[in-house]
Amino acid sequence: MDNKASHLPHWALGALVALGAVSPGPFAAGDAMLAPVRIESGLVAGAGLGERNEIHVYRGVPFAAPPVGAFRWKPPRPVTPWAGVRMCTEFGPWCPQPKPMLGRELGGMSEDCLYLNVWTPARAPTERLAVMVWIHGGGCTTGSGAMAAYDGETLARQGVVAVTINYRLGPFGFFAHPLLSQESEHGVSGNYGLLDQLAALQWVQRNIAAFGGDPDCVTIFGESAGALSACRLLVSPLATGLFHRAIAQSGGPHGRNRHLRAEWYGMESMEHLGERIAQKLGCDKAPDPVAALRAKSGEEVLAAADASQGLFGKGNKFSPIIDGWVLPEDPGDVFDAGRQHRVPLIAGSNADEGTVFLGQLPVKGVLGYRLAVRTLFDGRAPEVLRLFPAARDAEVPAALDKLVTVSSFVVQARYLARSMANADTEAFLYHFTHVPAVSRSGERGAFHGIEIPYIFGSLQKAWGVRLPAEEPLSKTISACWVQFAKTGNPNGAGLPEWPRYQPDSDKYLEFGDAVGAKSGLYREACDLFDEIQAERRRNR
């Protein structure tokens, strides 16, 4: 994209490839080469989408230097400028990761993974369109900004610049070790994946105007680990001024947040976990243990790390760490005190978040269910069982689904909305209940992550089949997200009335077979779990 949106002819592209100024890359069907755009590191060429190339897409744009070799487990560094034109027509590699849950797609992997993707309808840098930056989920262990469901074309067609990013995952993004902390000028290690997200947002501030975006109107949005990340960015002092609205889908600030050096929530410190992994890799006795760790292959690191997936997966949990620098405090403490970044917020959950995680729980009948509840909630178990009863074995899966849904997701969304409202900041709460007419969806209900292709308008790309009956809901929820990104408020002409969240009215918008405002979603249970979470933080 440039001021005239001219296209580079194919003979010119061929000449640039022959001269080595452009790296050849595959094109999607219908893509057309576009005139280069200048960003801080050099010229990038993208592709046009649509019959008249009305959307411009730039795939695989580097926002940081490759974190490989001696730069594994170091903060992201600036991109080395290049000469000529860099072709940005294919996605960058995925961060190395284990095979994901539920058989999701998995792309080519490399530790050289710090790339982002931009979709824009702008024809000139002066348009200053709202920007939406997507942070993908996957438990901080799997996923990529290149997944089919995250295609930004439909969002861009509604007048925003859509950006999806990669960040380091699992043991590459959240590995800590005392010797790595000694290397750091801040005396810390482990939050590399979160630093990557910050680097991507800094890149947006410096470069998005070249794609017609407004660096003063940036919305971060993410689901699951992406929402968890957004909540950490909301409390990180390093994120000040980098975004202006936030959307947290099925994720929040609570949970067993691991500390860099102290034992929290019954979990070993991340530095101690790093020492165990180094020992497992045989690097602990090396003359230079850090150099020995960096010399190990990505496959060896992945195997030794044994990263867990899902809420209840076996193995080691990797996620953002309370390190005293990137995250100075437990996020819940910051929200409680009203010291989070005060930006307009959307937060919400789905009706059946728990179904995709139930296979990780060895709970078969009523006795097992009651034992699990007592293990998880100790002295508060009788109150939990009263709200989520199961008198017969056949009732256990549904009870467990609702328990996981409310205790891990609904309560987090309400807590976020309530915290913002208490800080006199606009917040909007939602609950997604629609069960799509796709294979196997009936047994999982409105499951974890099902709202994503509706928001992106990527239903056919995500599911591989067009379902016209699903398109009206997708257009509604997608338009709400875009309106919020543009104005800080999801209300607008032709959109459902979405009341601002207030603790006393406890109103939310349901995206279901019908869309409308309701109030008091699992109010009694949310009150109970708020108390339990506060107790856990006091006793951590």
Output the CA torsion 514→517→520→525 (10° steps). 50
Residue 379 in domain: no
Q: Mind listing the pLDDT tens digit for each residue in 16-63?
A: 333 333 333 333 434 556 889 999 999 999 999 999 999 999 999 999
Residue 151 lies in a domain: yes
pLDDT at 383: 98
Q: What residue ranges in 265-342 does DSSP mark as E strands? A: none
The whole-number average pLDDT for the span 383-408 is: 96
Six-digit token string for 439: 């294979």
Catalytic position from the list 189, 224, 229, 250: 224
The CATH number linked to 62 is: 3.40.50.1820
In a domain, 327, yes or no: yes
Give the mean pLDDT of 324-328.
Answer: 97
Tokens representing 505 are: 């009215």
Token representation of residue 190? 């482990």
- Res 29: pLDDT: 39
User: What is residue 438's predicted lDDT score, i.e. its pLDDT?
Assistant: 72
Cβ atoms of residues 101 and 190 within 8 Å: no
Per-residue confidence (pLDDT) for residue 360, from 0 to 100? 87
Percent of the chain with pLDDT over 90: 84
Edge to edge, the sheet with strand 115-120 lists 32-33, 47-49, 55-62, 115-120, 161-165, 129-135, 213-223, 245-249, 345-350, 427-432, 507-511, 515-519
Judge whether residue 177 has pLDDT over 50: yes
Q: How confident is the model at residue 9, as a pLDDT?
A: 36
Lowest mean pLDDT among 123-137, 286-300, 402-416, 425-439: 425-439
Residue 197 pLDDT exceeds 50: yes
Q: Determine the average pLDDT of the residues in 301-307.
A: 97
Which of 177, 244, 254, 448 is an active site residue?
A: 448
Question: What separation in angstroms does the CA of 343 have from each of 398, 420, 484?
Answer: 36, 8, 12
DSSP 3-state assignment of 270? helix
- Give the C-alpha separation, 362 to 359, whole Å: 7
In the block, which residue shows the tokens 């909301």?
234
Whether 84 shows a pLDDT value over 50: the answer reads: yes
10 CA to centre of own chain: 37
Q: Sorting pLDDT into bands at 50, 70 and 90, what band is 5?
A: very low
Q: Supply φ then ψ for residue 446, to 5 degrees.
A: -85, 80
532-537 long-range contacts, Cβ below 8 Å, gap at least 24? Answer: 532/377, 532/380, 533/254, 533/332, 533/411, 533/415, 534/336, 536/265, 537/330, 537/332, 537/333
31, part of any domain: yes
Mean predicted confidence (pLDDT) in 405-427: 97
Q: Looking at the domain assignment, is residue 2 inside a domain?
A: no
Query: What's at 297, amino acid-wise?
Result: S
Residues ≥6 apart with Cβ < 8 Å to 192: 67, 73, 74, 75, 76, 168, 172, 173, 174, 175
Q: Is 353 a catalytic residue?
A: yes
Q: What is the mean pLDDT of residues 240-262?
A: 94
Residue 186 predicted with pLDDT over 60:
yes
Q: Residue 47: give the domain boundaries.
A: 10-272+311-361+397-538
The total of structural domains in the chain comes to 1
Q: Is 184 exposed, middle or buried (0-12, 13-18, 19+ CB in 10 A)?
A: middle
* Residue of 167, 163, 149 lying closest to 228 (CA atoms): 167
Looking at residues 298-304, what average pLDDT do you find? Answer: 97
Residue 218 Cα to chain centre, angstroms: 15
Q: Compute the mean pLDDT over every residue in the chain, rounded to the nearest whole number.
A: 92
What percent of the chain has a predicted confidence (pLDDT) above 70? 92
pLDDT of 12 > 80? The answer is no
Q: CA neighbours within 13 Å on the CB side: how many for 398?
A: 9
Render pLDDT for 117-150 as a digit per residue (tens, 0 to 9): 999 999 999 999 999 999 999 999 999 999 999 9
Half-sphere exposure (Cβ direction) of 370: Cα atoms closer than 13 Å: 9
Task: Average the pLDDT over 424-444 and give the result.
Answer: 85
Length of the chain, please?
A: 540
Of 314-323, 344-353, 413-422, 431-440, the least confident? 431-440
CA distance linking residue 339 with residue 46, whole number of Å: 40
Cα–Cα distance, 109 to 373 (Å, whole number)? 39
* Within a domain: 366: no
Q: Two tokens at 182?
A: 């000694």
Contact (CB, 8 A) for 79 and 61 = no
Q: Whole-model pTM above 0.85? A: yes
**Looking at 266-270, 312-316, 324-328, which range is the least confident one?**
312-316
Question: pLDDT confidence of 3, banded at 50, 70, 90?
Answer: very low
Residue at 20 is within a domain? yes
Q: Which one from 353, 426, 451, 470 is the annotated catalytic residue?
A: 353
The closest alpha carbon to 242, from 253, 229, 257, belongs to 229
Residue indicated by tokens 């940036």: 218
Confidence of residue 362 (pLDDT cuts 50, 70, 90): confident
> In sequence order, which ranges of 184-269 are alpha helices (DSSP H)?
192-207, 225-233
Mean pLDDT of 188-217: 98
Stretch 364-375: mean pLDDT, rounded? 94
Q: Is 60 helix (H, G, I), strand (E, B) or coil?
A: strand
- Which DSSP state fits 539? T
**Domain for residue 421, yes or no?**
yes
Give the mean pLDDT of 462-489. Answer: 95
